[in-house]
Amino acid sequence: MNEQQKTPASHDDTMQISTFTLDGTLCGIDIVLVQEINGDLSFTPVPLSEDYVLGVMNLRGQIVTVIDQSRKIGFAPVKITPESRVIIVRSGGESIGVVVDQVKEVVTLDRKAITKPPSNIKGSQGKFFSGVFQTERHELLALLDIDEIL
């Protein structure tokens, strides 16, 4: 199966990854964790919160904490641009918004082709990554461990 074929994964040996960029790095998370991708970048700041917490947003009546995962994992803080998006993920029974520089595409990849992440990726701690994958375009795709980040 082609790694970037955009049909639903039907076998345990493949997974679909939502890809995006963070500080110039191609990253991705398992699509089953993604609740939605949102273009609303208006947050209400939360006083005395951690520096990676950008604020909260109202998502159809649900209050969602929005974080700068770039800052959390050791990359440069996110710069909000017209291409920025909030990916709403489910973790620990709640929804969390993570800001990304730009959303790319959903790719299907073979789980066997995922390798262990290096101890650091672009200066960040390797514990925030579940693996790496080389795409057909010879780009390194870093798979984020959302539970570790959150």
Q: What is the pLDDT of residue 133?
A: 87
Does a structural domain hold residue 11? no
- For residue 87, the cross-strand partners are 37, 98
Does a structural domain hold residue 122? yes
Q: How far, in Å, CA of 78 to CA of 76, rounded?
A: 6
What CATH number has the domain bearing residue 96? 2.40.50.180
The number of distinct structural domains making up the chain is: 1
Does a structural domain hold residue 9? no
Q: Which domain holds residue 22?
A: 17-149
Does a structural domain hold residue 141? yes
Does a structural domain hold residue 10? no
Whether the predicted pLDDT of 9 surpasses 70: no
Mean pLDDT value across the chain: 85
**Which is nearest to 23 in space by CA: 58, 83, 70?**
70
Does a structural domain hold residue 33? yes
Of residues 116 and 37, more confidence is placed in: 37
Confidence of residue 7 (pLDDT cuts 50, 70, 90): very low
Does a structural domain hold residue 7? no
Q: Are strands 140-144 and 25-30 parallel, antiparallel or unpaired?
A: parallel
Does a structural domain hold residue 6? no
Whether the predicted pLDDT of 146 surpasses 50: yes
Which of 8-12, 77-81, 140-144 shows the lowest mean pLDDT across its residues? 8-12
